[in-house]
Amino acid sequence: MSPDRLVTMANQIGTFFRSQGHDMAVAGTAEHIRKFWDPRMRQAILKHLEAGGVGLDPLVRDAVEALKPPPT
């Protein structure tokens, strides 16, 4: 799936959760992506974020950042 399509989908999820306030929206968006996106999609959106995250809403950027595994 193209990064543009993933960005659109992630931003739509973020828009849905936005009314819950920033912290809850970030958590809700991250949880939705974690639960319902294929692992390849999650990896692709993380890679897109690492490449600059063009097009990601700031709330969604924070949510995708929360998907990163903890450093080892």
pTM score, whole prediction: 0.94
Q: Which two tokens stand for residue 35?
A: 């639960």
pLDDT at 72 over 90: no
| Tens digit of each residue's pLDDT (9 = 90 or more) over 11-34 | 999 999 999 999 999 999 999 999
